[in-house]
Structures are given as C-alpha cells and as structure tokens.
C-alpha cells in the first residue's frame, strides 16, 4: 500500500478508464440504494458479465466507488439521470475523465502537464514513463519497481485512449468540451462552495482543454440560455445562480 506521504499512488493500475463497466454500473444503479445493497445486486445479477465475484467487488470498491461514490458525494445518481436524459457518450466520457483524474492525482497531473506544454509529440508509454520517473525523483511517488512503473505508465496512456483524449495517431486532442459538461462542473464547483473567481481558475478546465478566456466565453454562452446571470469586466467575474442545489440543477437539465 502506498504511503500517504506520496502524492501519487498506483491505484490506476486497478483499472484504467473502465468506460463500459462504468456505463453498465451507472445504468444498473437504483436511486437511494446503499453501497452494500448495490454490490449485492451487482453480484447476484452478474451485471459485469464474465467477471468473478472477487473482480466485481474490486471494480466496484476500488474503482467505481472511489471515483463516483465517495462519502457524501454520490455522483452516480447525477450521471444516470443525465444519461437517461440524452447526454451524449462523448460528454459522459468527459465527466468520467474528470472524476477519474480527481481520484488519481497521477493522471490529473500527467494530463495537466501535457495541456500546459501544449504537447505536440505523440503520447506514448515512454512519455508517461518519463513523467513517472521525474515524479519519483521529485519525491511525488514512491520508488516503484520497473514493473510497476511500466504498469502505471501503460494505464496512463490507456486512460487517455479510453476517454478519447488521443487521436488516431496518438496526439492529444484539443476539441472543446460539450457545453453541458462545462455547465455541470460550473454548478458542481459552485455548490461545493467555490467563489466565482476560484471556480473559473480551477485546473479541471485545463484538463478539459479550456484556457481562462475560452471558459469565460463558454460561461457567457451558457448565460444566454437563462440558466445563470453572467458579468465579467475583464478583471472581476460575477455569476448570478438560478438553482439552489445541485439536485435542482440536475432536475432542470433532465426535464
């Protein structure tokens, strides 16, 4: 088990993007059930086809819960409602990517570095391995064995492929995210207590491929729909919020 004194751990090696499994679990989820009830139903219905009971428990406990269902933060219910309301698979993958990166700081920082450098080379296992070796040298990760470094570096690249962040030649994509993805995270950060300024400078926007001024333009476009009131003077950002809770916002999105 990785010591808490290190910023990075090897949890990503327990599953990369696991997009199909996550979609299956989101669809199978029933609103209001507890974690133990959910696991029991998943096992009894063999919801992850061909997975052993042990593997099913590992996927749910070590991957699914860690990313989307932490204490006092059950994101699964929101993803399920949005998916049922017609949110595209590409948009859902963007949401899943951010939650996966938040749960795995090594993925978060790897993509952040690529975005900030506007990486123009192919993203390969050697790219991710070099990142991990620097992290170990800087004391951000433990002194992993060569085999563990290879595993984690492989899963970093696999995650980018799983979430469609790489093109067919292995270069990082720069497509702007779906407007509903931006709107979701605007409201999520707001209801977590972020100020408007702090929210606009959160690094998740960089992960999604947005710089500050692109984000400002996106917030303005969202305001045209009447969901928020937008004011930006060039220095100060102020947003008037229509909804009082995240659930109220989700209910509106799913009407």
Spell out the long-range contacts of 111-119 with Cβ–Cβ below 8 A and sequence spacing 24 or more. Answer: 111/160, 111/165, 111/207, 112/203, 112/206, 112/207, 114/172, 115/172, 115/206, 115/207, 115/209, 116/206, 119/171, 119/172
Residue 1 clears pLDDT 60, i.e. is over it: no
Please report, rounded to a whole number, the percentage of residues in the chain having pLDDT higher than 70.
98
If you ran DSSP here, which 8-state letter would residue 251 be given?
A: H
- DSSP-assigned beta bridge partners for residue 240: 229
Residue in 175, 174, 167, 176 with CA at minimum distance from that of residue 122: 167
Per-residue model confidence as pLDDT tens digits over 6-36: 899 999 988 889 999 999 999 999 988 999 9
Both 49 and 15 in one domain: the answer is yes
Q: Is residue 5 part of a domain?
A: no
Phi-psi region of 86 (alpha: psi -120 to 50; beta: other; left: phi over 0): left
Residue with tokens 């998943």: 42
Q: Which of 105, 131, 162 is the last residue before a domain boundary?
A: 162
Write b or e for each residue in 78-106: b if 16 or more Cβ atoms lie within 10 A of its Cβ, otherwise e: bbbbbbeeebeeebbbbbbbbbbbebbbb
Boundaries of domain holding 210? 179-253
Residues 165-208: pLDDT tens digits? 999 999 999 889 999 999 999 999 999 999 999 999 999 999 99
140 and 185 co-located in one domain: no
Q: Is residue 4 part of a domain?
A: no
Closest CA to 19 of 74, 63, 66, 85: 63
Q: Report pLDDT digits (tens) over 199-224.
A: 999 999 999 999 999 999 999 999 99
Give the model's pLDDT for residue 4.
Answer: 63
**Cα end-to-end span (Å), the chain:** 45
pLDDT, tens digit (0-9, with 9 covering 90-100), for 64-88: 999 999 878 899 999 999 999 999 9
In the chain the beta strands, taken as DSSP E runs, fall at 69-70, 73-74, 228-232, 237-241
Residue 146 maps to a domain: yes
Long-range pairs of 220-223 with CB within 8 A, sequence gap ≥ 24: 221/179, 222/179, 222/182, 222/183, 222/186
Domain boundary among 128, 162, 196: 162
Number of domains in the chain: 3
Residues 46, 83 contacting (CB under 8 angstroms): no
- Among 44, 65, 86, give the residue marking a domain's end: 86
Instruction: Answer yes or no: do 114 and 65 share one domain.
Output: no
Distance CA 61, CA 203 (A): 27
Residues 152 and 98 in one domain: yes
Is 183 contained in some domain?
yes
């Amino acid at each position: 088990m990785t010591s808490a004194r290190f910023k990075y751990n090897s949890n990503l090696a327990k599953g990369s993007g696991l997009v199909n499994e996550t979609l299956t679990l989101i669809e199978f989820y029933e609103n209001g059930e507890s974690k133990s009830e959910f696991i029991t139903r998943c096992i009894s219905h063999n919801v992850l086809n061909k997975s052993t009971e042990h593997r099913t428990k590992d996927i749910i406990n070590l991957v699914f819960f860690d990313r989307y269902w932490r204490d006092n933060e059950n994101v699964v219910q929101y993803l399920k409602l949005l998916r049922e309301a017609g949110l595209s698979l590409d948009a859902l993958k963007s949401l899943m990517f951010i939650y996966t990166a938040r749960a795995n700081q090594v993925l978060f920082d790897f993509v952040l570095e690529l975005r900030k450098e506007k990486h123009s080379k192919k993203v390969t296992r050697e790219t991710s391995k070099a990142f991990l070796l620097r992290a170990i040298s800087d004391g951000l990760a433990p002194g992993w064995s060569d085999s563990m470094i290879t595993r984690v570096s492989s899963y970093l690249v696999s995650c980018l492929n799983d979430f469609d962040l790489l093109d067919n030649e292995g270069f990082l994509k720069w497509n702007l995210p779906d407007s509903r993805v931006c709107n979701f995270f605007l409201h999520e950060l707001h209801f977590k207590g972020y100020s408007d300024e702090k929210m606009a400078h959160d690094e998740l926007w960089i992960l999604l491929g947005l710089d500050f001024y692109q984000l400002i333009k996106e917030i303005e476009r969202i305001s045209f729909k009447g969901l928020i009131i937008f004011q930006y003077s060039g220095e100060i950002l102020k947003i008037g919020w229509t909804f009082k809770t995240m659930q109220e916002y989700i209910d509106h999105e799913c009407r």
